[in-house]
Amino acid sequence: MCPVILESAPLSRLCIHTITTKPWSIEEAATRYASAGVQGITVWRDALNGRNIALTGRMLRETGLSVVSLCRGGFFASPEKEKRRLAIDDNRKAIEEAFLLGAPLIVLVCGADPGQSLDESRKQIKDGIAELIPEAEAAKVKLAIEPLHPMYADSRSAINTLTQANDLAEALQSPQVGVAVDVYHLWWDPRLEEEIDRCGRNNNLLAFHVCDWKTPTVDLLNDRGLMGEGCIPLKTIRSWVEKAGFGGFIEVEIFSLEYWKMDQWEFLKRIVSTYEKFV
Ligand code: ZN
């Protein structure tokens, strides 16, 4: 593999997930992102609590932001039929929220349950997504299967590699369904370059999420790093994603107990500078 030297990613393609700056309300996040030159926002559903969703979507656009996606749907897997039913209902609600917000995409964290096999969870995930396709189509909202790092295979996602996500998206045979590539979950995979290429060839590459992997990682969920702080070859992976035809927003998604404690405006400035330097 040749080292890839790319020009920095342009600021116009930077999108930030609201959870990255969790201490801020969505209103404050929108104003601050826009004043830092950020043009995209991915909205986590908890940021919409107690708000008129359509008006919030309008506020975001009037602030100059593109609504890139809604996070998140999924969690289809459970040994209990009633829980699977509730999950489908919640995903229907997410589709409606995305429609009202004006978000063209919902990211799916597909789910898993330690009380059943991964194979069983995968069947339920496939059935769950299949059931949602007609509503997603009617709302013109796409669904992105996000494979999660195998450390989450017990309870968060039975889809752990891009190969599995591509297999699933292709099996569902719907233009409504594709894949989200998140470097945090996938950077270690020796098949990553060819699977990103496959994803692009099938028009299934819907989203690209970045952050970094810290050593040591002290919390399995909430210790993601800022770009450049860890060992993920961000520019190389970005070059694969772009070679596969993806020209959409590059989304910074960082869950971090450390960074949530920081002054969020200082943190935002670091996001912008590390994005420009390392992505
Ligand atoms: Zn992600």
Segment-wise mean pLDDT, segments of 10 residues, the chain, 279 residues? 71 98 98 98 98 98 98 98 98 98 98 98 98 98 98 98 98 98 98 98 98 97 98 98 98 98 98 98
Measured in Å, residue 199 CA sits from the centre of ligand 1 at 16
Classify domain 11-278 at the CATH superfamily level. Answer: Divalent-metal-dependent TIM barrel enzymes (3.20.20.150)
Q: Where are the domains positioned within the chain?
A: 11-278
pLDDT the model gives residue 41 = 99
pLDDT the model gives residue 2 = 52
Measured CA angle at 211 (ends 210, 216), to 5 deg: 145
Please give the distance of CA 140 from its chain centroid, rounded to a whole number.
18
Measured in Å, residue 182 CA sits from the centre of ligand 1 at 5
Measured in Å, residue 36 CA sits from the centre of ligand 1 at 22
Which tokens sit at 250? 């590059």
Measured in Å, residue 109 CA sits from the centre of ligand 1 at 9
Residues 6+ apart with CB under 8 A from 43: 18, 26, 60, 67, 69, 70, 71, 101, 103
Measured in Å, residue 22 CA sits from the centre of ligand 1 at 15
Inter-residue contact 240 to 193 (CB < 8 Å): yes
Whether the full predicted model's pTM is greater than 0.75, yes or no, is yes
Measured in Å, residue 178 CA sits from the centre of ligand 1 at 14
Measured in Å, residue 187 CA sits from the centre of ligand 1 at 12
Measured in Å, residue 146 CA sits from the centre of ligand 1 at 7
Q: State the Rg of the chain over Cα.
A: 18
Measured in Å, residue 253 CA sits from the centre of ligand 1 at 6
pLDDT the model gives residue 6 = 73
Give, as residue ranges, everything with CB less than 5 Å from ion ligand 1: 182, 209, 253
Measured in Å, residue 243 CA sits from the centre of ligand 1 at 20
pLDDT the model gives residue 5 = 64
Measured in Å, residue 147 CA sits from the centre of ligand 1 at 9
pLDDT the model gives residue 270 = 98
Measured in Å, residue 71 CA sits from the centre of ligand 1 at 9
Measured in Å, residue 210 CA sits from the centre of ligand 1 at 7
Measured in Å, residue 83 CA sits from the centre of ligand 1 at 24
